[in-house]
Amino acid sequence: MAKVLRWTGYVLGLVLLLIVAAPGYVWFASNNALNARVEPHAEKLIPMQRASVEEGNHLLLTRACAECHGSDLHGAKFLDDAKIATLYAPNLTLVAKQATDQQLAQAIRQGVGYRGEPLLVMPSESYQDLTDAEVSSLIKAIRAAPAGGRETPARRVGPLGRIGLVAGKFKTAPVVVQDYANARAADLGPQFAAGRHIAVTVCSGCHGSTLSGKEAEPGTMAPDLTITGSYDLAAFTKLMRTGLPPSGKELKMMTGVSRKAFTHFTDHEIASLHGYLVERTRRAP
């Protein structure tokens, strides 16, 4: 009897320890991920007098920056859920007053905020492939945008968000940047390079590093872009400009992002993107 009691005591003690220790562990481990000071590497930029505000503004629209950060770049809510996270895409006109060109480039291409923190949600995994000239133009355009608005609320990660981080379900931007660097979309040669560049620097964010599909947000799959093989240029242009597939039915995510961002592509950009995606489908094993 005494033996049984002693064992029950051990088991109860262990359960208690787990109840107390598990949240402590999640808190500690998630803080490690959120507060990890990432040492960004130096960015190569072109001289700012050669960077183009016009190109930068075109990139702010087509790379969907304006969709998250607001059309005036004054910041916008991304998610506000106490259990998961409170996360705003910050006011870039105010960030630009604090940050150097180097720091802005590091935030865009490496996912490291100017205060040195690893960013969340910011799709640097796709933007790491922007050219030096493109990043410089983006920075020039951000600095040229009229400053105003308020500072957005600070980032807070709730218990479910922390569990997700510790379980590896959510990753910080620098980690995703590395994942993407390790698996690239097929390079089909110089003839298709311009189209590939667009696919890699924006479509990959939702369709995956190799464009083979991924869960774009919990419960919503972005398909393998071989699906573009069934689109002729007219149908593809309609999808980019109106967000509507041949069926004419609105799509859950694709319709919104097309109308806000992809509608700003030039005809030439749409044609080269289509050319690359069709060729990628043709050569798919």
**Residues in the site for ligand HEC, rule: CB under 6 A?**
63-65, 67-69, 78, 87, 89-90, 92, 95, 99, 104, 107-108, 113-114, 119-123, 127, 138, 155, 202-203, 205-207, 216, 220, 222-223, 225, 227-228, 239, 245, 251-254, 257, 262, 273
Helices 101-110, 132-144: crossing angle, 10 deg rounding: 120
Nearer to ligand HEC, 24 or 219 (CB): 219
Nearer to ligand HEC, 164 or 205 (CB): 205
CB of 134 to ligand HEC, least distance (A): 9
Nearer to ligand HEC, 190 or 218 (CB): 218
DSSP string for residues in 190-254: GGGHHHHHHIIIIIHHHH-TTSS-EEEETTEEEPPGGGGGG--HHHHHHHHHH---TT-PPPTTH
Where are the extended beta strands (E) located within the chain?
Answer: 76-81, 85-89, 156-157, 214-217, 220-222
CB of 35 to ligand HEC, least distance (A): 11
Please provide the size of the chain in residues. 285
CB of 199 to ligand HEC, least distance (A): 6
CB of 120 to ligand HEC, least distance (A): 4
Nearest to 150 by CA among 232, 242, 220, 75: 75
SS3 167: helix
CB of 66 to ligand HEC, least distance (A): 8
Nearer to ligand HEC, 87 or 163 (CB): 87
Angle at CA of residue 13, ends 9 and 15, nearest 5°: 120
Nearer to ligand HEC, 127 or 180 (CB): 127
